[in-house]
Amino acid sequence: FKQKTAYEIRLSLVGSEMCIRDRSSNAFEVFIWTYFMTYIVNDSCIACKYTDCVEVCPVDCFYEGENMLVIHPDECIDCGVCEPECPADAIRPDTEPDMEKWVEFNRKYSEVWPVIITKKDPLPDAEEREGETGKLEKYFSENPGEGG
């Protein structure tokens, strides 16, 4: 038995187990399948970039682009404290339908954008753009933000 560190233990661990009997030795083996849930930032954040969420994140897994934030899915511990902080409702669990593309989107940009841990003012047109559809195609920028 190997003791795991707190970093290795994810709060969102969901697992199921299945016992398989080895008929030749009458031994049983237990297989555990697990998956980790994460939160993602979707296109509702684009052109708004509220940063209320970064102040409450206990693991600093938010990364800043020029006009949106993303969450690194491998760093998120699924605590959920960021979700209610977002005025644009842009933070969603990856367990919702059709979130795979957003998990990969968040992963891609979190690997090239700087980490952000302090709250900043939203973008100037945030209130005007809030709730608008098609923001990924209209406004998204791959440029990194300042971080900090």
Cα–Cα dist 13/58, whole Å: 17
- 82 vs 6, residue with greater confidence: 82
Question: 44: which residues sit within 8 A by CB, 6+ positions away?
Answer: 88, 89, 90, 130, 131, 135
Structure tokens at 116: 């952000």
pLDDT grade for 29, boundaries at 50, 70 and 90:
low
pLDDT, residue 51, reads 98
Number of other CB atoms surrounding residue 122 within 10 Å = 19
**Which amino acid is present at 61?**
C
Whole-model pTM: value is 0.77
Yes or no: say if 76 and 61 are a contact pair by the CB < 8 Å rule.
Answer: yes
pLDDT grade for 37, boundaries at 50, 70 and 90:
confident
Read out DSSP for 110-143? HTTSPB--S--PPPTTHHHHTT-S-HHHHH---S
- Residue 52 CB-density burial (10 A; 0-12 exposed, 13-18 middle, 19+ buried): middle
* Beta bridge mates, 63: 70, 115
Cα dihedral 40, 85, 47, 138 sign: positive
Query: Comparing 30-44, 77-91, 130-144, which segment has the lowest mean pLDDT?
Result: 30-44
User: Between β-strands 91-93 and 39-41, what pairing exists: parallel, antiparallel or unpaired?
Assistant: antiparallel
pLDDT grade for 5, boundaries at 50, 70 and 90:
very low
Yes or no: say if 147 and 69 are a contact pair by the CB < 8 Å rule.
Answer: no
Average pLDDT, the chain: 84
Q: Is the pLDDT confidence value at 23 over 80?
A: no
The length of the chain, given as a count of residues = 148
